[in-house]
Amino acid sequence: MERVRSFLQSPTYGNVITVLSIDGGGIRGIIPATILAFLESELQKVEEDENARLADYFDVIAGTSTGGLISAMLAAPNHDDDDDDRPMFSAKEVIDFYLQHSPLIFPQNHRCSFGGIIQSIKSLMGPKYDGKYLHKLLKEKLGDLRLHQTLTNLIIPTFDIKRLQPTVFSTYEVKRNSSLDAKLSDICIGTSAAPTYLPAHSFQTQTPNGQLREFHLIDGGVLANNPKKLRVTYDPKCSPIMSKEIFQGNPDFFPIKPMEFGRFLVISIGTGSAKSEEKYRADEAAKWGVLGWLSSHNSTPLVDIFTQASSDLADIFLSTVFQALHSEKNYLRIQDDTLGDKESSMDNATKENLDKLVRIGEDLLQKPVSMGCSNALPGEKDS
């Protein structure tokens, strides 16, 4: 079956814009990758075509941090052979990528008690990891591929610390602003640069008329760890993306009114979060100084808090909107909020934990789905 996608192709199913959203969460990206591998295999069975890929079915794939990396891998064309209209990675190969490379991206020599003390001291002086292996790996895999070359529409949030404002890399925005047409490797390195874990990333782009633009990026999780809100709402602070295209009559989309959320089909996949009763307590945090906020419970509380908060707020907002418009079935949220302390770590790349994260993803496939957590209190979310 031939599946040649044109640049900014119209919605796959005519009346519906299909959206896949993938949260950030470091090493926990294995969880959504496992779920997506199952989804892709089921689509292959339906199509009776082992070459079917998720990029053939989603009009938009968006992700932040590790979710941005997965999104780019699913949407990047294969530049190694003549079959450049097919994605570079299958969803199953994304899992293999994490299992093979995570121990080298996040070396575990600090897991012993003495190493942990040394690492805590080092965290005051610089990032926990130097990122060199990750940078080299992404540049090797993605080469010179740029944002406009993706096989489906891609949205990856980052935050520019020089401008102190969000920078959202979007195939929609590239049409009007060619300075955003960066290499996918640079975008992925930027959105993965979680403060205290990996170093900020800087690079330049050049427009056809020779204009240079500098980027100084960190993890998009400080903006939107769950990036789906960027695609289906208009938020001036977060840079309007997909809705802006629709509102302004982009011919790549069918005519749609701003509030017709029923015309969207959104699948949002989380990377898991810790049991609320097992994370941080106010009586503990009240005693923390800089070091405590940067390193406690084998994690980084400050990063955990802002990424989890942005993810949950986006989920609450979207689920509320879809429910209010009687379109609950068009919004599917897949998330496990029962992870233990070790599994909820962003950088625990031990073989034991990697295998456990795969099992968590597999177990999620057997659980009831959620239409969002708009009515849930912390610790009382749907399964």
Which residues have a catalytic role annotated?
65, 219
With CA atoms as reference, report the closest residue to 205 among 288, 146, 149. Answer: 146
Does residue 66 contact residue 94 with C-beta atoms inside 8 Å?
A: no
What is the residue whose two structure tokens read 């849930």?
A: 376
Through-space distance between the first and last CA atoms of the chain, rounded to whole angstroms: 37
- The alpha carbon dihedral of 335, 340, 345, 348 has a sign of negative
Does residue 38 contact residue 365 with C-beta atoms inside 8 Å?
A: yes
Q: How many CB atoms lie within 10 A of CB 358?
A: 18
Whole-angstrom Cα distance, residue 32 to residue 25? 10
Does residue 364 contact residue 31 with C-beta atoms inside 8 Å?
A: yes
Does residue 226 contact residue 270 with C-beta atoms inside 8 Å?
A: yes
- DSSP character at residue 146: B
With CA atoms as reference, report the closest residue to 197 among 280, 106, 116. Answer: 106
Secondary structure tally for the chain: helices H, strands E: 14, 8
Does residue 307 contact residue 221 with C-beta atoms inside 8 Å?
A: yes
Whole-angstrom Cα distance, residue 123 to residue 264? 43
- Angle at the Cα of 375 (from 372 to 381), degrees rounded to 5? 60
- The alpha carbon dihedral of 254, 255, 258, 262 has a sign of negative
Does residue 156 contact residue 169 with C-beta atoms inside 8 Å?
A: yes
Does residue 129 contact residue 197 with C-beta atoms inside 8 Å?
A: yes
